[in-house]
Amino acid sequence: MHVMDGDMALDEVDLFGDPVMDDTLTLTSRPAPAKQLQRRLDELRTRGCYQGIAWSRQGTIASISKDGQTIELRFLRCRPHDASWGLSEPYSLPPPNALSPPAGIITHLAWAATSSPELAVIDSVGRISILSFGITLNRAYNLRKWDADPVDDLHAVVGCYWLPLRMSNRQFNYQTNTYPAFGPWHPNHGKSALLCVTTNGLLKLIFSQNNNRVEETALELESVTSSDDSITHASLCSDIKDTLLIAFATTSKQLRVVRASIQWGLPQNAADKQAPPGSIHLTPVLRERHVAVSSWVGPSESTLDASMAQLSHIEVLPSVPRTSPVAIAAPAAVLTVRSYLPSDTSPYGQESQSILDRWEIVSDQEQAVHPAFEQLGPKNSATSPPTMTRLRKLEPIILPKIIVSIHTMQLGRVLCFAFSDGTVQYRDRFTMNEIYNEQDLNAVTSLHQIGFQFVDETPCLQVAFSPTNCSFVQICEDGEIRWNSLHYVMDDPNTALQDSRRYSAILAALSVAMSTVAIYQTNGDDLLAIGRLFVQNQGLDFAYAWIREMVNMLKTPVDYSEERYHDQLVRNHHLQLNLSILNHLGFRGEFKPRTFGGKFAFLALNVRNIVILITIATAAPPITSLGSHKEKLNPLDEPEVVDALAGCVKWAVDLLSWMTDCLLQLADDPAFMSILSDPKRFTELAAFLRARGDPSLYFLLASSTRGLLYAACRRLGHLEVVSTRASNHISEVKAHTPKDGDSTTASTLRPPSALYHAYQKMERYISSSLIKVSEFETLLKSLSQEIRKNYQVNLPNIPALHKTQMPGTGQGQTGGPNAQEKIIRRCELDILLASNPPPIFREVLLKFFTSSLPAFRSQTDPAGLYFSNFDLLEVEDEEASLAAKKAAGKRVDVFKRIELYANGRDVTTAAAGTGGISTTVAAFKNGSPRGGGQTAAGHGGGGNDASGPLWRRCVRCAAVMEDVTVQKPGFTFVVAQQRKCACGGNWSLLPKSSINL
């Protein structure tokens, strides 16, 4: 070894033969944590209720404004110009009580699961206001004001919980294996109640009385006599035996668990009924029992700094079945989170971390007393000790990130943790092992396990998940709201569809998620946004495959070839959902041609909606008028209702005329007739019709849509009779009405001119039609008879279809289906999804086009049909026609079926003298709704101005209608059926000037 002379500098010696670097070694600096995150952690440590963003089950995203004084509303919506999905602009609500602003700032938002979503708005001193969203996603009215609430920090809310909804005689959650859903519930179906825990130990119950008046009661959970006893965080949930489980933490680092029950004060004979009679006054009483106590931080635990002795989250989890049977259940548990965020000046390079502590709430079994104890006292004096409940501490879990949100999935069996860096982690509730990190195609239960992930990771402060758990919104560090949706990251979506196993898994996962949406009636628009990514380059084949999977999973009835099932057709909500999926995925944007399937679904949904509106208007139930007696409500006595129905009549008559014209053109097409004439070419029929872009023939062949057409014809015939009788009656009254001044007592006989003109308009639309509705109804009936006869004669001779597995019986169909019924359902599903009709339909079609249709042609005007204007149907494909509509800003009101103009002339005011419906803008006033429970909220943010007329726009299909607030009982009853769009999508309210946004 060669020894160097002189002193040896270690930093200059190359010990490993590598060249010496001149740069000195330095430690990599850790990025400083954002000040906004530190501020957010301080908020979470202050109290448990500090959630500034929340997503309702109907789709409204509520968030607290940056100044903490107002509420901003957003929602997912399909962009009108290209049908892509995105987050809407914010719509600012005024303070929940305009005359009484929050005492400090608004700190917490919580949604109820009611069908008309209710939002609890809580400020920093615990004042609570409840808003209801009955019609549109961004318009609210006040159910409860916070004016009477005390302005006192001791009443600050540290935990809140909305009671779950009773499941309409089905107290089980939807899944392959049924699990019980725990109460307590509000006695009235569809209503919830808000429970809150305050700093001073009160449990408040805010509930809706049977007369819709909001009341409250309270119970002292903990006697708070000093600041050390005050409660900082609380969590509530429903647990076994229909009781509430409450876990709360105190300033003195105690963790307490309480069971509470609600006695609603119902008579014994009414306790088992679905809902108490309206005459019963609810007098709820809260009862509590302390079951366990512990410390949420042990004295021997080492902490990085004082912040580790401060909670940021507490969650109580109910008992959850591990596997079937239900009796095998995991005990309830309590989770707490303590987070550490290193300071900027820390020299040790510590990392951010969150410590997740867990306790199981266990009950020790009773033990028999040893016989020796009996000798210590008189006989029969020994008693068994009571069952003891305790908190069993489990091993803590340390995560190297800051937890900002905890969310439960899969009926509480999966825990989702959202972190400040924008990432999401899923863990098994029982083992706490991380899941969804690897693809699993064996048992598909969610999109997460087959390769879908959140990929757009952005640092955030708060997170709120959608009802489907397939997307979330986050408040970023700059205060902006962003939407993040699941993406298929295993491979390119189009490449993935080439793998049959992956393709099946994707379809199954989407169907499972959408089926849950159908069962619970929640919002699933983010699933449509995910599915649209697969349709963009694959066409509608993916949409048809998705719907086929949905029909089989939900056992949706699609066979209505027998007339006895027609009454159930309009109530088939699962079929409406499937048509809505097809309608949206076939929608390319306003003023752009729809796809073949999109046009088919669009027409079917609108026919269904018109049938419902006419039925509601002509068969209204008795209502309670002034006094206690009931009288018949007749909406047809109000001109606004008749005027709206006249528009529906015009649309329906145009549809029948357009379909007739399409069928006549098919009959005159030699290529089409050659396909029908040649049995070997019959398999080309579907491709021919798709290329033509005309779904009219499929509309007649599918028994479900044919049934809707038949129902529309029946109702049009009824309205024709009603309008003729009404016009004749009014004309007779008018003829016998004395002139002014002739008699003062005869003024009551004077006919209302608006009603007269409305009935005249309806009669004119029907009588001036180029086809006779009764003759078209006869054509449908004869076609239905031929198809039924064909099914009975020819289906037994098709063995290939006998082997096909089909969905079970549908709603209203009793007994197990026989082989023939299975074959018919298979045929009907194929036709509904635009597959080629079975060969047995060739003879039916040939007879229809060579015999039935020519006979019908002789009773019509083919030339008049060819040159007619069918703009009201919105099925045009010509570029010139669509460009002209776009230039004029012309759209169709889906309620009144009249043309609306966003620029230029506006026909909405033209009918003012003929029963037209005026549009008004209400404001938050006295906290009470106008026009049958609807009050418009003020709009701000995003440049939206509510000074002009307001329109409703469907967030799913971009359809529009005027916002109507006519205060008449019949009209209010009819328009209430338009709580959603014809496609089933939710309405958003926006100014007419913003209709193109």
Instruction: Flag whether pLDDT at 367 surpasses 60.
Output: no
Percent of the chain with pLDDT over 70: 78
Is the previous residue joined to 695 through a cis bond, with omega within 30 degrees of 0?
no
- Rounded to whole angstroms, the Cα distance separating 550 from 546 reads 6
Average pLDDT over residues 351-377: 72
Average pLDDT over residues 527-539: 87
Instruction: Flag whether pLDDT at 907 surpasses 80.
Output: no
At 289, give phi and psi (nearest 5°).
-145, 120
Average pLDDT over residues 3-14: 42
pLDDT, one tens digit per residue, over 699-708 is 999 999 999 9
DSSP states along 304-358: SSGGGGS-SEEEEE--EESSSSTTSEEPPEEEEEEEE---TT-TT-PPPEEEEEE
- Rounded to whole angstroms, the Cα distance separating 433 from 673 reads 64
pLDDT, one tens digit per residue, over 307-345 is 567 899 999 999 887 665 445 678 999 999 999 888 765
* Phi-psi map region of 279: left, alpha, beta (phi>0 left; psi -120 to 50 alpha): alpha
Instruction: Flag whether pLDDT at 416 surpasses 70.
Output: yes
Instruction: Flag whether pLDDT at 458 surpasses 80.
Output: yes
- Rounded to whole angstroms, the Cα distance separating 655 from 657 reads 5
- Rounded to whole angstroms, the Cα distance separating 94 from 109 reads 15
The whole-number pLDDT of residue 740 equals 53
3-state secondary structure of 687: helix
Query: Which range has the worst mean pLDDT, 279-293, 385-399, 776-790?
Result: 385-399
Instruction: Flag whether pLDDT at 904 surpasses 50.
Output: no
- Rounded to whole angstroms, the Cα distance separating 508 from 443 reads 10
* H-helix segments, 108-235: none
pLDDT, one tens digit per residue, over 570-587 is 999 999 999 999 999 999
Average pLDDT over residues 25-29: 46
The whole-number pLDDT of residue 921 equals 27
pLDDT, one tens digit per residue, over 597-635 is 999 999 999 999 999 999 999 887 765 544 445 566 788
Instruction: Flag whether pLDDT at 897 surpasses 50.
Output: yes
- Rounded to whole angstroms, the Cα distance separating 389 from 815 reads 49
906 versus 451: the higher-pLDDT residue is 451
The whole-number pLDDT of residue 877 equals 85
Supply the DSSP symbol for 136.
B
Average pLDDT over residues 357-372: 71
DSSP states along 925-974: -TT--BTTTB-PPP--STT--TTS-EEEEETTT--EEE------HHHHHH
Instruction: Flag whether pLDDT at 17 surpasses 70.
Output: no
- Rounded to whole angstroms, the Cα distance separating 713 from 660 reads 14
> For the chain, how far is it from start to end, CA to CA, in angstroms?
81
pLDDT, one tens digit per residue, over 473-496 is 999 999 999 999 999 887 666 666
- pTM for the predicted model, two decimal places: 0.87
pLDDT, one tens digit per residue, over 203-231 is 999 999 888 899 999 999 988 877 878 99
Write down the mean pLDDT value for the chain.
Answer: 82
Query: Which range has the worst mean pLDDT, 607-611, 811-815, 854-858?
Result: 811-815
The whole-number pLDDT of residue 815 equals 38
Which pLDDT band holds residue 739 (cuts at 50, 70, 90)? low
Which pLDDT band holds residue 997 (cuts at 50, 70, 90)? low
The whole-number pLDDT of residue 326 equals 47
Tokens of 156: 């600050």
| CA-closest candidate to residue 823, choices 792, 777, 856 | 792
Average pLDDT over residues 406-423: 93
pLDDT, one tens digit per residue, over 120-141 is 999 999 999 999 998 899 998 8
The whole-number pLDDT of residue 808 equals 39
Supply the DSSP symbol for 848.
I
- Top mean-pLDDT range of 165-174, 417-426, 884-893: 417-426
Which pLDDT band holds residue 389 (cuts at 50, 70, 90)? confident
Tokens of 992: 């007419």
Instruction: Provide CB contacts within 8 A for 715, sequence distance 6+.
Output: 610, 611, 614, 615, 618
| CA-closest candidate to residue 913, choices 725, 715, 714, 757 | 757
| CA-closest candidate to residue 853, choices 631, 642, 708, 696 | 696
The whole-number pLDDT of residue 126 equals 93
3-state secondary structure of 364: strand
The whole-number pLDDT of residue 116 equals 86
3-state secondary structure of 680: helix
Residue with token string 């097809």: 582
pLDDT, one tens digit per residue, over 138-196 is 998 899 999 889 998 899 999 999 999 876 544 434 345 555 678 899 888 888 999 99
